[in-house]
């Protein structure tokens, strides 16, 4: 394990995962498990920035681990763990918060976006969330962070914090690089293709869940918003709906934009939507079956969490101790 480069990523268990989460993030994870030393976190602490129902949150924590496994992550080859079971995250987050400026946090688009969507609950956690994310990544001396494009700004902040700390105290943190896949990096909403597909969207027709049943998937694609020009051509600005469907199909079938345009040139939107729906069902059906099996065995999932909290904790403690020593705490 030691000489391999390290990969770190996390997903929030704030809802059932969407096709956007799958194509933008999770799908890429198993491709990395042979070549890299990988950690994937269930980022439950991040979810409290928005009100959660406790019972539902507990269920979604298991569901996310089950999805990690169902999407092909091997629990022996990767460290799959729960954020709150490794106390070093909260501890490092406090320290790093003292090396992060209010101005930097105010510029985060996700903060601006979520505070306008949850105007009645603009809590301090929502504001300092990127600091916790920086702590997640920096604790593990991460080389690469596979993320969707929307998280790039947070990763840049994590890099800035690492560089700042290293300048003050000498080499402490590895400065991480983002890994953003070209296709699938930003899957848009099916009804409002100018905004990203998001699991916390109130309109269920805007997203496809990884665990959604085939009928619903087909229905949602058939209803997807397109345009009136009738041509299956990629043009993000003028044809956001069709471009999104091209992206989705390309990502599912591993085809380039040009290859998708060629394959469907001259066809009607209706036929294209059916093809995209079918490709999606084909990919998601085996994942859903495995997910359901795993969710029926919480004992197994608990065992993975327990074991991996210890494995992750060993890495994290090492970095935290170094930080505490560098800032002048007595160990």
User: Which residues, 35 to 54, sit near ligand LTN by CB under 6 A?
Assistant: 43, 46
Place of tokens 């704030």: 14
Q: Is 136 an interacting residue with respect to ligand LTN (CB under 6 A)? A: yes
Dihedral in degrees, nearest 10, Cα atoms 311, 317, 14, 291: 0
Active-site option among 4, 199, 253, 306: 199
Q: Is 250 an interacting residue with respect to ligand ATP (CB under 6 A)? A: no
Of 7-15, 163-171, 218-226, 284-292, which part binds ligand ATP (CB under 6 A)? Answer: 7-15
**Rounded to an integer, what distance in angstroms lies between the CA atom of residue 169 and that of residue 122?**
34
Of 98-106, 130-138, 194-202, 248-256, which part binds ligand LTN (CB under 6 A)? Answer: 130-138
Contacted by 197, from ligand ATP, ligand LTN, none: CB < 5 to 8 Å by type: ligand ATP
User: How many CB atoms are located within 10 Å of the residue 265 CB?
Assistant: 10
Place of tokens 């036929």: 271
CB of 134 to ligand ATP, least distance (A): 15
Residue 328 region by backbone torsions, left for phi larger than 0, else alpha for psi between -120 and 50, else beta: left
Give the per-residue contact string, 150-169, with ligand ATP (x = CB under 6 A; - = no).
Answer: xx------------------
Q: Is 24 an interacting residue with respect to ligand ATP (CB under 6 A)? A: yes
Give the per-residue contact string, 6-35, with ligand LTN (x = CB under 6 A; - = no).
Answer: --xxxxx-----------------------
Structure tokens at 149: 């494009």
| 143 contacts: CB under 8 Å, gap ≥ 6 | 5, 6, 7, 36, 174, 176, 177
Of 5-13, 67-75, 250-258, 299-307, which part binds ligand LTN (CB under 6 A)? Answer: 5-13
Tell me, yes or no, if 196 is annotated catalytic.
Answer: yes
Contacted by 301, from ligand ATP, ligand LTN, none: CB < 5 to 8 Å by type: none
Q: Is 64 an interacting residue with respect to ligand ATP (CB under 6 A)? A: no
DSSP readout, 72-83? T--TTTEEEEEG
Of 111-119, 133-141, 209-217, 297-305, which part binds ligand LTN (CB under 6 A)? Answer: 133-141
- Give the residue ranges of DSSP H helices in the chain: 19-24, 44-47, 54-70, 88-97, 102-106, 109-117, 124-139, 152-169, 214-223, 240-253, 257-264, 269-295, 298-327
SS (H, E, C) 230-252: CCCCCCCCCCHHHHHHHHHHHHH
Give the per-residue contact string, 169-198, with ligand ATP (x = CB under 6 A; - = no).
Answer: ----------------xxx--------xxx
Tell me, yes or no, if 223 is annotated catalytic.
Answer: no
């Amino acid at each position: 394990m030691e000489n391999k480069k390290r990969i770190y990523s996390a997903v929030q268990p704030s809802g059932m995962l969407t096709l956007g989460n799958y194509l933008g993030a999770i799908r890429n994870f198993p491709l990395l498990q042979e070549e890299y030393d990988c950690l994937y976190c269930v980022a439950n602490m991040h979810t409290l920035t928005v009100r959660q129902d406790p019972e539902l949150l507990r269920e979604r924590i298991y569901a996310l681990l089950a999805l990690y496994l169902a999407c092909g992550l091997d629990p022996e080859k990767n460290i799959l763990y729960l954020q709150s079971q490794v106390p070093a995250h909260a501890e490092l987050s406090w320290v790093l918060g003292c090396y992060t400026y209010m101005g930097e946090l105010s510029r985060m688009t996700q903060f601006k976006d979520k505070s306008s969507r949850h105007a009645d609950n603009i809590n301090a956690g929502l504001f300092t969330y990127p600091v916790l994310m920086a702590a997640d990544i920096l604790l593990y001396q991460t080389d690469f962070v596979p993320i969707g494009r929307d998280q790039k700004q947070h990763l840049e902040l994590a890099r800035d914090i690492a560089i700042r700390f290293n300048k003050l105290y000498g080499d402490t943190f590895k400065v991480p690089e983002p890994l953003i896949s070209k296709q699938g990096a930003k899957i848009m909403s099916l009804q409002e293709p100018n905004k990203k597909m998001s699991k916390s969207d109130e309109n269920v027709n805007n997203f496809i869940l990884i665990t959604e049943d085939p009928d619903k998937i087909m229905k949602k694609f058939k209803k997807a918003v397109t345009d009136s020009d009738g041509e299956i051509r990629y043009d993000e600005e003028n044809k956001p709906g069709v471009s999104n469907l091209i992206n989705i199909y390309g990502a599912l079938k591993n085809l380039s934009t040009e290859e998708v345009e060629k394959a469907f040139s001259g066809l009607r939107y209706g036929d294209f939507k059916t093809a995209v729906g079918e490709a999606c069902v084909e990919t998601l059906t085996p994942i859903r079956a495995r997910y359901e099996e795993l969710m029926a065995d919480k004992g197994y999932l608990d065992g993975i969490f327990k074991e991996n909290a210890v494995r992750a904790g060993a890495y994290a403690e090492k970095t935290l101790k170094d930080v505490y020593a560098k800032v002048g705490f007595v160990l």
